[in-house]
Amino acid sequence: MTNKLFLTLFIVIGLLSCTKPEQSESPKLVVGIVVDQMRYDYLTRYWDDFGLNGFKRFYQDGFVSHNHHFNYYQTLTGPGHASIATGTTPSIHGIIGNDWYDRDLGHNVYCVDDDSVQGLGSLTSKGQKSPHRLITTTFADQVRLHSQFRNKVIGVSLKDRSAILSTGHSANAAYWYAGNDEGVFTTSTHYMDTLPKWAADYNAKKYAHQFASSVWNNLHPIETYTASGPDNSPYEGIFVGADTPTFPYDLANLQPDYHKDKGLDIIKNTPFGNTMITDFSLLALENEGLGQGSETDILMVSYSSTDHVGHQFGLTSVEIQDTYLRLDKELERLFAHLEKNIGIENITLFLTSDHGAVHVPNYLKDNNFAAGHSKSDGIQDGVNVALYAMTGVKNLVAHIINDQMYLDHDLIAKYNLSLVKLVAKASEVILDFPTIENVFATADLPLLSPSEKLHNLILRGNNKKRAGDLYLLPKPGYIDYGSTGTTHGSGFSYDTHAPLLMMGHGIRKGQTYTETSITDIAPTICALLGTAFPNGMTGNIIEEALLKADK
């Protein structure tokens, strides 16, 4: 046999023996579920009352990461959804808060506001939103690029920022809820020219009005809610129109305890908001044909009522437990539809959260823990007084938001002041406040010790073009919030520890106690699909979760 013939046979045999790369055998659909304000320990706290086909199904059939954390400081809804989707942190993707101070504009900006687009489905400005402030791509964007835009990507949430930031720049649609007097799902012209008929038909049926006229009662007998405190406690917010925070709630006669909300927004503060999200997501699956084509489609579902209920009632309330027991049934309903119409074996699912939450500080204080409700009270005035005494210039502090202080750079330039000296003086004043544990000059962040976990969280949250001049680190358990209910936003474990549950196509059954990060989700999905990673990605593939890791 000549060398030429041998080489030809070798090539032919090699080509015949080649198989398609494993990564190219992709699922028909990726479903990402984000439960707003869900702490990891809600899984263990409410475990005995969950059914077998909701949260527990991930434990039976999927992969569980028990030590999953946010790896940056600003644990808020906007940054959370952006970090899940992009595989990177606010320092890279730019969403440093739900709102932040814009030095050029001289006021706060909202993470998804966009007056260059028009809303569809709502007659108000609630539809004028887009992902234009998100600097990087998402994993859904990369799947769209990979398929030459033949696949579909859709996001659904009560919150605009959740639906928008979880899907990215190139999504076919993101839908969110406009409450008040409308009670409709809306989108914007960033995605389409007109609202689809199926979505318009849903709005026309006024389901929100029906829920807002219903009664929220406890799902199980009240005495069985042993994972919670008493139904009536001083740590819970009270609906406007109610005398106590106790079941049942006749919603037709009540209003949310948030002063800015009214009318049909009350649904957000009940489990019925999650029911609407499931209903609308099922309609999107059916009418858009998700999971029925040759390319991998993506559906991002964000359940937001958990956050609204947590903000109003707090962590130990019967209301928050009831909301999670009802959400468990919503997951069961979603999974049953997916199983029947697509098959779980053809779908990759993950469930996580956008942040956790702290116990109500008054509850902590009453049980002998250090905590407080007004961590920033007096700081801006105190620093302004000190800087005026130093320079003779008034109001040098422009704003405090997201635990960051912004000094007025225009005034500093006008009076030829030293930013370094002003920051140093402001730091001295801030450290005198008993609610503050430490303060960092933004310019000094690269010099912080990388061995300190909180230092790394602040670094990863620091976007130089959008950040303040100082970072204020409060003591654990101290928040800026009212005397009832709770919030989030810090780098402490009660805000960073989130669930990560995965199952379906390409996911190995198992668990890990090795620490994983919220930024690991996107690269893991991209690795499973065989696509490029989001362009700002800093996370890692969770190899233990993938079937390929066993081969």
User: How many Cβ atoms sit within 10 Å of the Cβ of residue 389?
Assistant: 9
Distance of alpha carbon 359 from alpha carbon 315, whole angstroms: 6
Cα–Cα distances in angstroms (integers) from residue 199 to residues 196, 280, 402, in the given order: 5, 8, 35
Whether residue 77 lies in the annotated active site:
yes
Catalytic residue among 2, 8, 75, 77: 77
Q: How far is CA 137 from each of CA 76, 236, 299, 543, rounded to the nearest angstrom?
A: 19, 39, 16, 22
Judged by phi (left if over 0) then psi (alpha if -120 to 50, else beta), residue 368 lies in left
Scan for tokens 């006749």, then name that residue: 250
| Number of residues assigned to the chain | 551
Are 335 and 442 spatial neighbours (Cβ–Cβ below 8 Å)?
no
* Count of CA atoms in the C-beta half-sphere (13 A) of 210: 8
Non-local (6+) Cβ contacts of 324 within 8 A are 42, 46, 306
The Cα–Cα gap between 373 and 483 comes to 6
What does the alpha-carbon distance between residue 378 and residue 364 come to, in Å, rounded to a whole number?
23
What distances in angstroms separate CA 126 from CA 161, 250, 311, one per listed residue? 11, 27, 22
DSSP string, 215-232: EE--SS-GGG-TTS--SS
Number of H helices, E strands in the chain: 19, 19
CA distance 492 to 356: 10
CA angle 389–471–522, rounded 5-degree value? 160
Candidates 536, 534, 499; CA nearest to 144 is 534
Residue ranges with strand state E in 111-203: 119-120, 153-157, 173-178, 184-188
Listed in sequence order, the residues at least 6 apart from 181 whose beta carbon sits closer than 8 Å to its beta carbon are: 262, 263, 264
Is the Cβ–Cβ distance between 515 and 477 less than 8 Å? no
Burial class (CB in 10 A: 0-12, 13-18, 19+), 289: exposed
The maximal CA–CA distance of the chain, rounded, in angstroms, is 96
Active-site residues, by number, are 77
